[in-house]
């Protein structure tokens, strides 16, 4: 395309602008015509099928009504006493009464078109009254044993319709109506045989063309069909009939491919008899006019595209002339080394070179400026005064803010080097944009887990200034938590009135960070001057002795209590230093290790497996973490020494606790403290006893209770989820499917069927 002349490209563009929408419009309009025509044909076919069904139902209903009216007369009471054929022929009067019954049956046949024959059978007699053989014995008439089977599923006092084939070969639909005590005291059955061919006329009354009309009973047996060889066979074996009979809708239409032809199938189901009416016909015959119209539209579209092509070439030549002249002028004045390229490619390359040079220059300036600012901040933090510092920090007042990542070792373990580098870059950019107008903020990465923000601003103006700064620091903390998924502690120094004091303010902010040992992680803390002699010194020698005694006795509860005492004493002192706190725990750890080496040689491997315990203590941020680490440490020692405690059956206590509290949100660390063992040891016990994790065991308890409620209660799925401890149905469904292989609703249905 880059070598194609511009006017040809422009002609192609103009052609596409005209031709493609026209082609799409033609395709869309043609497809809509076909779809609308098919939909109209489907609706029309269904409407005709409904009309035929109503016509057929009316005819059959009239025949049923005439039969019930005949049964309500006293005509059958006159011959009730004639139990045998010989009694009827005993005298003229008996014969006359019998002939009157036959006459009424003939009148019944004449009231509805298409009745082939009818007969009446008096219960326990040896003869029948019929319109085809008059009065005859059962031995000479066709078998009527099928009547008993036909009436087995009858409900109410109405009759039943039975499709069958007579001995004469005629296919009929027989209406079997037993006399009932509400209308007469005579016991017997009236049977009226309607010709299948008459029903076929009703089915085809409103249809045009070569359609196939099919009538099936509720079980799928063919009652009436164009192909008479299939009468009384299983209609579900015909193409697509099984699919149609399985539809939930009682009526509708669909399109299917049959032997290379597109067919429209329409169906409905009688709400009175449960019979299915099905009709299908070829769409090729019905859609001939629509397809002819679609072909004419395609021809017209082709003609429009040809004319549009000629117009596009003319317009392209005319519109491209000024641009071609511009390219000739640029080539004559400068040599860009571009050959075998069209006008657009030439201009694109020329402007791209200009843009690349501009972007490269702009990026170089930005990097230079950023490097200069970062270097100035680093030098300022080291106590140096960089040249032209007023360009970076134009105001006289400074504050230093240190943002320290809590539990930094855990953060490093969860991220790689690239991710941490990206976090530093992104946080630095965010920090500088969070502070209010009139304040310069420059952020750099200082050391492991610490970002330093140097704030530069004019003199403070009352409480409002401090409030705005604090709001910005809260935003720093919240955005850091969102990005890192770790909390951060923010330390803020005192005000400095010159750049030479920034190093001292950095020291203050770093010292403030150490206060999270007492105040907890995630806080924003400010420096306050403290006299060195005002700080109190604490020791823990008495606690150390008691802890070592409890360690020898294997009493974890006593050790836990002493650790809490140490923590309480530290928390009660306002001016205790960070170094004093760490000295207390270092001294406790040293005394413990010395005691173990002197008295318990078997614990050496366990202690070596924990790494450098002093480094682990130094890496902790808060008293909570220190206490938790030391308690787990002592738990492992007690377990390795194999002391027997008053509470030996931990597995039973854990199981009982979980069975009592599985509906609640369990904090496993707190649970371990209540039982008197470490969290890691508790997890080990549960896995050894159950083969599952703590979370899996709790979920299994919940699911077992849920299964019981699903079987024995009427609660909804949502209510059961809340009852067993799940706060949303989605979590309940996910865990139930995980452990049972099916959703709760499927389990409930299966148990209901089995019961």
* pLDDT (tens digit per residue) in 565-624: 888 888 777 777 777 888 888 888 888 888 877 775 455 555 555 567 777 777 787 888
**Mean pLDDT to the nearest integer, 323-334:** 65
pLDDT of the residue at 491: 92
pLDDT of the residue at 643: 46
Residue matched to tokens 């509720």: 218
Of 87, 438, 60, 418, which is closest to residue 224 (Cα–Cα)? 60
How far apart, in whole angstroms, are the C-alpha atoms of residue 658 and residue 156?
A: 60
Residues 597 and 610 in one domain: yes
Residues 562 and 580 in one domain: yes
How far apart, in whole angstroms, are the C-alpha atoms of residue 161 and residue 145?
A: 16
In the chain, the number of structural domains is 4
Residues 522 and 548 in one domain: no
Q: Is the separation of the CB atoms in 706 and 747 below 8 Å?
A: no
By mean pLDDT, which of 144-148, 471-475, 521-525, 641-645 is the weakest? 641-645
Residues 153 and 188 in one domain: yes
Look at residue 61 and give its three-state secondary structure. helix
Pairing verdict, β 397-405 and 488-492: antiparallel
Residues 525 and 596 in one domain: no
**Beta carbons within 8 Å of 573's beta carbon, 6+ residues apart:** 536, 538
Q: Which of 641, 672, 689 is the last residue of a domain?
A: 641
Of 313, 498, 475, 508, which is closest to residue 402 (Cα–Cα)? 508
Tens of pLDDT, residue by residue over 741-755, are 888 888 888 777 665
Angle between the N-to-C axes of helices 321-333 and 288-319, in degrees from 0 to 180, rounded to the nearest 10: 40
The tokens for 181 are: 């005590």
Q: What is the CA radius of gyration of the chain?
A: 49
Residue 67 lies in a domain: yes
Start-end of H helices in 415-540: 417-434, 462-484, 502-513, 516-519
Residues 491 and 578 in one domain: no
Residues 173 and 147 in one domain: yes
pLDDT band at 647 (very low <50, low <70, confident <90, very high): very low
The tokens for 22 are: 């026209």
Residues 218 and 281 in one domain: yes
Residue 136 lies in a domain: yes
532 has pLDDT over 50: no
pLDDT of the residue at 206: 59
Residue matched to tokens 């199938």: 265
> Which regions of 182-325 does DSSP assign to beta strands (E)?
188-195, 212-216, 222-225, 251-258, 261-269, 276-282
The most confident of 415-429, 544-558, 609-623, 695-709, by mean pLDDT:
695-709
Pairing verdict, β 160-165 and 171-178: antiparallel
642 has pLDDT over 70: no
pLDDT of the residue at 601: 47
Residue 482 lies in a domain: yes
Distances (CA, A) of 486 to 140, 418, 579: 100, 17, 25
Type and span of the H or E element at 387: none
Residue 690 lies in a domain: yes
Of 522, 524, 442, which is closest to residue 482 (Cα–Cα)? 522
Query: pTM score > 0.85 for this model?
Result: no
Residues 510 and 581 in one domain: no
How far apart, in whole angstroms, are the C-alpha atoms of residue 267 and residue 280?
A: 9
Tens of pLDDT, residue by residue over 78-128, are 888 888 988 888 888 888 988 998 998 999 888 888 899 999 999 889 999
How far apart, in whole angstroms, are the C-alpha atoms of residue 551 and residue 609?
A: 19
Residues 161 and 267 in one domain: yes
193 has pLDDT over 90: yes
CB atoms within 10 A of CB 168: 10
Look at residue 117 and give its three-state secondary structure. strand
526 has pLDDT over 80: yes
CATH number (domain holding residue 718) = 1.10.10.60
Q: Which of 462, 494, 529 is the last residue of a domain?
A: 529
Tens of pLDDT, residue by residue over 132-183, are 888 999 889 988 889 888 888 777 788 899 999 888 888 999 999 998 877 7
CATH number (domain holding residue 207) = 3.30.450.20
CATH number (domain holding residue 494) = 3.30.70.270
Residue 495 lies in a domain: yes
pLDDT of the residue at 20: 74
CB atoms within 10 A of CB 723: 15
Q: Which of 261, 286, 311 is the last residue of a domain?
A: 286
**Residue range of the domain that includes 144:** 44-286
Name which residue leads in pLDDT, 209 or 141: 141
Name which residue leads in pLDDT, 116 or 537: 116
Name which residue leads in pLDDT, 315 or 387: 387
pLDDT of the residue at 343: 60
**Secondary structure letter of residue 496 according to DSSP:** B
**Mean pLDDT to the nearest integer, 664-686:** 81
Residue 382 lies in a domain: no
CA 190, 196, 201, 204 dihedral sign is: positive
pLDDT of the residue at 190: 92
Residue matched to tokens 């597995």: 651
Q: What is the dihedral of CA 116, 120, 125, 127, to 10 degrees?
A: -30
Q: Is the separation of the CB atoms in 159 and 168 below 8 Å?
A: no
pLDDT of the residue at 462: 67
pLDDT of the residue at 336: 55
Residues 248 and 116 in one domain: yes
Residue 144 lies in a domain: yes
pLDDT band at 489 (very low <50, low <70, confident <90, very high): very high
Residue 362 lies in a domain: no
pLDDT band at 550 (very low <50, low <70, confident <90, very high): confident
pLDDT of the residue at 136: 92
Residues 511 and 541 in one domain: no
How far apart, in whole angstroms, are the C-alpha atoms of residue 127 and residue 138?
A: 5
pLDDT of the residue at 533: 46
**Mean pLDDT to the nearest integer, 380-387:** 83
**Mean pLDDT to the nearest integer, 493-503:** 88
The tokens for 395 are: 């105001």
């Amino acid at each position: 395309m880059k070598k194609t002349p511009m006017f040809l490209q422009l002609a192609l563009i103009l052609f596409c602008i005209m031709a493609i929408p026209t082609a799409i419009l033609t395709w869309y309009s043609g497809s809509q015509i076909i779809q609308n025509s098919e939909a109209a044909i489907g609706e029309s076919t269904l409407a005709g099928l409904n009309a035929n069904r109503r016509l057929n139902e009316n005819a059959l209903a009239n025949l049923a009504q005439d039969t019930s009216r005949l049964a309500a007369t006293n005509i059958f009471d006159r011959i009730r006493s004639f139990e045998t054929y010989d009694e009827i022929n005993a005298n003229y009067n008996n014969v006359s009464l019998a002939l009157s019954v036959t006459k009424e049956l003939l009148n019944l046949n004449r009231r509805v078109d298409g009745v082939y024959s009818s007969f009446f059978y008096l219960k326990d007699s040896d003869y029948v009254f019929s319109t085809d053989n008059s009065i005859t014995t059962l031995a000479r008439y066709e078998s009527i044993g099928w009547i008993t089977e036909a009436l087995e599923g009858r409900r109410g006092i109405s009759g039943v319709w039975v499709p069958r084939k007579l001995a004469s070969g005629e296919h009929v639909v027989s209406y079997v109506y037993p006399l009932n005590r509400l209308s007469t005291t005579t016991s017997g059955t009236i049977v009226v045989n309607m010709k299948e061919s008459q029903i076929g006329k009703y089915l085809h009354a409103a249809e045009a063309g070569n359609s196939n009309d099919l009538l099936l009973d509720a079980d799928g047996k063919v009652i009436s069909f164009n192909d008479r060889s299939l009468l009384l066979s299983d209609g579900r074996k015909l193409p697509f009939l099984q699919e149609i009979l399985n539809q939930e809708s009682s009526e509708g239409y669909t399109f299917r491919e049959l032997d290379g032809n597109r067919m429209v199938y329409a169906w409905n189901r009688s709400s009175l008899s449960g019979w299915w009416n099905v009709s299908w016909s070829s769409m090729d015959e019905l859609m001939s006019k629509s397809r002819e119209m679609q072909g004419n539209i395609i021809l017209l579209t082709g003609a429009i595209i040809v004319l549009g092509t000629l117009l596009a070439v003319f317009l392209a030549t005319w519109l491209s002339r000024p641009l071609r002249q511009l390219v000739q002028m640029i080539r004559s004045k400068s040599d860009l080394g571009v050959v075998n390229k069209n006008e657009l490619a030439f201009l694109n390359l020329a402007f791209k070179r200009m843009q690349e040079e501009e972007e490269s220059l702009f990026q170089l300036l930005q990097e230079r400026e950023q490097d200069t600012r970062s270097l100035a901040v680093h030098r300022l933090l080291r106590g140096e005064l960089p040249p032209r510092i007023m360009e970076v920090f134009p105001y006289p007042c400074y504050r230093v803010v240190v943002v320290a990542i809590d539990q930094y070792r855990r953060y490093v373990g969860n991220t790689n080097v690239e991710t941490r580098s990206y976090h530093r870059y992104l946080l630095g950019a965010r920090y500088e944009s969070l502070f209010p107008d009139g304040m310069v903020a420059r952020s750099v990465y200082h050391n492991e887990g610490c970002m330093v923000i140097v704030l530069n601003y004019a003199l403070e103006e009352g409480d409002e200034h401090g409030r705005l700064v604090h709001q910005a620091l809260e935003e720093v903390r919240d955005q850091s938590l969102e990005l890192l998924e770790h909390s951060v502690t923010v330390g803020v120094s005192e005000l400095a009135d010159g750049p030479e004091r920034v190093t001292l303010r950095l020291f203050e902010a770093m010292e403030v960070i150490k206060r999270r040992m007492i105040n907890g992680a995630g806080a924003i803390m400010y420096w306050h001057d403290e006299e060195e002699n005002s700080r109190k010194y604490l020791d823990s020698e008495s606690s150390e002795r008691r802890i070592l005694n409890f360690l020898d006795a294997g009493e974890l509860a006593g050790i836990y209590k002493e650790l809490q005492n140490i923590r309480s004493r530290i928390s009660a002192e306002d001016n205790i230093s960070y170094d004093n706190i760490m000295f207390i725990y270092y001294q406790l750890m040293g005394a413990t290790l010395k005691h173990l080496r002197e008295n318990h040689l078997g614990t050496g491997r366990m202690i070596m497996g924990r790494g450098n315990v002093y480094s682990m203590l130094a890496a902790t941020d808060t008293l909570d973490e220190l206490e938790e680490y030391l308690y787990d440490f002592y738990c492992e020692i007690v377990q390795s020494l194999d002391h027997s405690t008053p509470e030996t059956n931990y597995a039973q206590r854990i199981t009982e606790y979980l069975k009592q509290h599985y509906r609640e949100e369990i904090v496993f660390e707190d649970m371990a403290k209540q039982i008197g063992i470490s969290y890691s040891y508790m997890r080990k016990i549960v896995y050894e006893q159950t083969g599952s994790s703590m979370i899996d065991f709790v979920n299994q308890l919940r699911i077992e209770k849920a299964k019981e409620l699903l079987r024995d209660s009427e609660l909804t799925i949502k209510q059961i989820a809340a009852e067993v401890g799940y706060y949303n149905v989605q979590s309940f469904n996910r865990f139930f499917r995980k452990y049972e292989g099916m959703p709760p609703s499927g389990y409930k249905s299966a148990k209901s069927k089995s019961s």
